[in-house]
Structure 1
């Protein structure tokens, strides 16, 4: 499964990633969105495959954000620059 393809598919469904939307807590809306995402990604990926991969990518992104912020808060040493291609 291509990570970029999954990210683009998930981007179309704020109920999967945007906490401030009402739909974020709507289980049915999320299930429907994941089915559509799995269809868009294709490559024989199931809903579970897509949601687990998304969780992994989201967690990686959050860790990278924390590393960047940690270096910007006045700590000594070089500024952290992420080498993860999906970060920017």
Structure 2
């Protein structure tokens, strides 16, 4: 599962963040740590985790001119349905 690979492979994931987001290693490491807060056991993105990611992106000077809401960056409806159908407990 992708989220388990992300959890187990910090360095690989940090390298991918550096490549895709064009940031330095320190920023990528901080982004990785914040991203982990968005990963839940049932696969549904948490609002707190996504808000942390939004804050990290804004700290890089991106999207600072507007308020970015959870709904702007995540749609948890599919993840909730899949979690429900596969027997995960959802809130």
Q: TM-score, normalised by structure 1?
A: 0.33
Query: In terms of Rg, which structure is larger?
Result: 1
